[in-house]
Structure 1
Amino acid sequence: MAGDPRSLSREAFEARLRGLSVRYWDRHPFHVRLHAGACTPDEVRAWVANRWYYQRHMSQKNAAIVANCPLPEVRRRWVERILWQDGPERQDGNAGGEGGLEDWLVLAEAVGLDRRQVLDERHVLPGVRFAVDAYVAFCRTRPWKQGAAAALTELFAPDLMAGRVVAWRRHYDWIKPDGYAYFERRVPTVRAESGYTLDLVLTHCVSREEQDAAVAALAFKCDVLRAMLDAIDYANARP
């Protein structure tokens, strides 16, 4: 409740959230190898194909947060994430060929994957499915504030994505240049989104119970991302 004497100050609450950067997936051994140029083409393709499953479910996750939120001003702002990911609709009712999902499919083709095989998800590992489905279920069943807090991994994402483009261009010159459109378009968008989401969580999670739940939600999201990499790393380490 508001006025909870146990509540953290805004600064201390933000520090706890940002402190979870040590659990983000950039420190996972697979991710370290991916950026160091130590992954084989098949490992890069495995990461892209499995990450598609995550990308495909982001609009459903965001729609769940919108559905659970009673505040029109938040719903109006949050729904922009769905529009960015899914892309615009043409007057004929078909997808406009833009948006995060289409950009990811271009990336898949740039690393040598067959678009049809990415779409039918034949390369998606059970562990990745389990982790992503758990994240969507979390956002459907938990209060919207916790869903928003879980999205705060975007605080740690922009620099990592910008660094990924630099690293991949240096180490994986076999990737077609048009494949980087997703990251190049996403970096400025996620920088803006992260600032808004952080302010939203800091403003609306006022009791200590809400603050602790927000921190736990962000920790859970970090675990989801690392579980995805655990599955990919394990599968590619086997003969």
Structure 2
Amino acid sequence: MSSLPSSAPATRPGASSTRARALSLDEGAKALSTHCMGAFQAFQGLNQLAEDMRILSLNAELAAGRAGTAGVAVRALTQYTRQLVSQLNRLEQEMSALKIATNDLSDRTTKDLEALRQIRETAANDGYESSQRNEAEALASATALLGQMMDNARKLGGHAGRIRQVADQSNGIATNIAIEAAAAGRHESEFRTVSDTMKRYIEVLQSMVERANHAIRQADEMGQALTRRLAASA
């Protein structure tokens, strides 16, 4: 099954690192934040999709009940679908909390980099040596915050992997419902509609994961480049 086309443009390896070298630290940090938020944005609508899957499973269970013995297997499959829906809802809640934390880290990183810039500009413009202690503290804080942002992006990558697993398991359910439909007689059309609808939902899940992973890779490259630049400027 092919996933829906990703709206994110392809990026050649190392391209984000090249851009990071051309950006100021402030601009690079903003770009990192943009990539991180883009990864979270990829899962916009996950709640609604999970609800659509839940409703589909309930309707399929009703159809299975009408089918009698021909719907026994389908009923079991729809109950398993609701377990997967619960997983999606839990993952969405965890990602929402992670998004809030990452946004806060982004704000704090921006402030630290701005403080670092001002310390260095004061030294350059006024001819005074900057406070080495203040500069070291701002540098260390910014580096730590960048590391935490990258860790959060990787955590999101783990969530994306679990959502892909849910999509794969859902695909197995849809396939088995299609198999059951072939032997369901006059109920075949209902079951096949359920299977086809489930597959459309799966394609959306796969598309979300692909877009998120693309943004996560960009965030990781940008974060690594910025971390190296901060270390070199110490």
Q: Same fold (TM over 0.5)?
A: no
Bigger radius of gyration among the two: 2
Which has the larger helix fraction?
2
TM (norm. structure 2) is: 0.41
